[in-house]
Amino acid sequence: MARFATLPEAAVYLRMSERTMRRLRERGLVPSSNPTGGHVLFDLDELDEWVGAAKDQRPAARNAAEFALAGKRLARNRRHRASHAAAGGASAASPGPGGADTDTSRPSA
């Protein structure tokens, strides 16, 4: 037999705020029904399945998010280096005007 809950009850059941529960429902990310055209109902068995499926997908989603973040950092670093080079700034890794082997601390003979 199906067990149903209202939005506030489902939010308590899933240990999240009503606002988050409402947003998930509005985006179609959580299973819900509106059988009478009035109150939205959540089948607790479907919510249990939804939570189980979300747990199975979490590591892959986290890895994808980390990959995307690393890509953004790489692009930001490239833009920074390009703008720094265009401005004529020398980076710590590049040799000075005399080259890598030039030692200006000793007088030349």
Tell me whether residue 97 is in a domain.
no
The predicted model gives 50-65 an average pLDDT of: 65
Q: Look at residue 9 and tell me whether its pLDDT is greater than 90.
A: yes
CB distance 20 to 31 below 8 Å: no
Per-residue confidence at 19, pLDDT binned at 50, 70, 90? very high
Tell me whether residue 102 is in a domain.
no
CB distance 98 to 104 below 8 Å: yes
d(CA 99, CA 109): 19
| CATH number, position 42 | 1.10.10
Average pLDDT, the chain: 75
Per-residue confidence at 6, pLDDT binned at 50, 70, 90? very high
Q: How many domains does the chain have?
A: 1
Q: According to the model, what pLDDT value does residue 68 have?
A: 62
Q: According to the model, what pLDDT value does residue 11 have?
A: 92
Q: Which long-range CB contacts under 8 A does 57-65 form with residues at least 24 apart?
A: none
Q: According to the model, what pLDDT value does residue 97 have?
A: 56
d(CA 17, CA 10): 10
| Domain with 57 in it | 4-86
Q: Look at residue 95 and tell me whether its pLDDT is greater than 70.
A: no
pTM: 0.49
Tell me whether residue 46 is in a domain.
yes
Per-residue confidence at 43, pLDDT binned at 50, 70, 90? very high
d(CA 98, CA 53): 62
Q: According to the model, what pLDDT value does residue 78 have?
A: 73
